[in-house]
A and B are shown apart, each in its own frame.
Chain A
Amino acid sequence: MNYELISSKLNEKFSTNQNQLNTSTAGDPYFLINKEQLLPICQYLKENEELWFNFLKLITAVDQGDKFSSVYHLYSYKYEFGITLKVDLEKTNPVVDSLCGLYKAANWLERECYDLMGIIYKGHPDLRRILLPLDWQGYPLRKDYVAPTEYNGIDNT
């Protein structure tokens, strides 16, 4: 298994050149994929016999300033290989399809990203805050977040 194989398979199946393999930045290469194609691509990656990405390691989110990114780390136990997928979302309306139907692990990971970054996962069965109190205002890991000076009568200064 290598990146070229995955890349060629993806291009073959999803005949656009929007799903590029990006190797320019430091760190692991990643696939920058189209928001609409996230679900079909993940399903393909999971169910194809030659890829078998059956494990969702992690979902994180990044505030890039002018946009959000939702980042997915998949792993294939069979071929012992991991890849990273990235989806870019608009700042004003960060909505992306939920992976809960494919991977059970996505449930809490997506709740965490919703809690701290405010990304809405469409189709999630139970999208609530997971770490912060349920009545918390705002999404603390966003760059423009301002910490409250008071919470439920407790002074925060």
Chain B
Amino acid sequence: MDSNKAKNLEQILESSIKDPKDLTRYLYYRKKLKEEGLSDFISILPLGAAINWARANSVWPLTFGIACCAIEMMAVGASKFDLDRFGSGVFRATPRQTDLMIVAGTVTYKLAPRIKKLYEQMPSPKYVIAMGACASSGGPYTQLGYQVIKGVDKIIPVDVYIPGCPPRPEALIDAVLLLQDKISKTIPQQEAI
């Protein structure tokens, strides 16, 4: 590995460690490896940070478009905006294989129990992005929409909200990046490790 690339990787790994105690330990072992002349072959990382790094870079969304916002979500998945660059392009057709639910559209009372069921079928850890004004607050239906839930957060917990009607594809990408940031800052639970 040429030294420039190695430097780069070291920096990336370093920045993914949020716990200061872990960081000191990491730097200590890295120094040790260098002294032994093994740093070309072995990279080290605290297990929690490694798990977070893996989780944050493979957030698989559910194929789940419920109104006009879904058109923008499809654009994000397609080649022009290419969500796959961030590891989130794998839209799964079953909730059992997903980590992320992008609520892309208007949530009606008739749909609410189904959304809840889909959310409960997803394995933990799971995340929700409320895409667009409808999913965040009822949007254009706030006043007169007798059939619309005023925000999907009334039935399931939401991690990231995106404003807009519909939001630009870049906004959805930004939300995914925010979510990745959030995931890499969490401390994984003991049983998960």
Contacts and interface: CB of A to CB of B under 8 A. Distances in A.
A157 B150 contact: yes
B149 interface: yes
Given A154-B112, A154-B149, 10 more contacts: A131-B110, A132-B110, A132-B147, A133-B110, A140-B147, A147-B144, A154-B109, A154-B155, A155-B150, A157-B150
Interface in A112-157: 131-133, 136, 140, 145, 147-148, 151-152, 154-157
A136 B155 CA distance: 19
25 contacts: A131-B110, A132-B109, A132-B110, A132-B147, A133-B109, A136-B109, A140-B146, A140-B147, A145-B146, A147-B144, A147-B146, A148-B146, A151-B109, A152-B109, A152-B112, A154-B109, A154-B112, A154-B149, A154-B154, A154-B155, A155-B150, A155-B154, A156-B149, A156-B150, A157-B150
Contacts of B155: 154
Closest 5 CB pairs of A and B: A147-B146, A133-B110, A151-B109, A140-B146, A154-B154
Contacts, number: 26
Contacts of A131: 110
Interface string B114-154: 00000000000000000000000000000010110110001
Interface residues of B, number: 10
Contacts of A157: 150
Interface majority SS (helix, strand, loop, mixed), chain B: loop
Contacts of A136: 109
A145 B150 CA distance: 19
Interface of A: 131-133, 136, 140, 145, 147-148, 151-152, 154-157
A152 to B, nearest CB: 7
Contacts of B147: 132, 140
A139 to B, nearest CB: 11
A21 B93 CA distance: 55
A151 B146 CA distance: 10
B163 to A, nearest CB: 21
Contacts of A152: 109, 112
A136 B108 CA distance: 12
Nearest to B112: A154
A154 B19 CA distance: 40
Contacts of A155: 150, 154
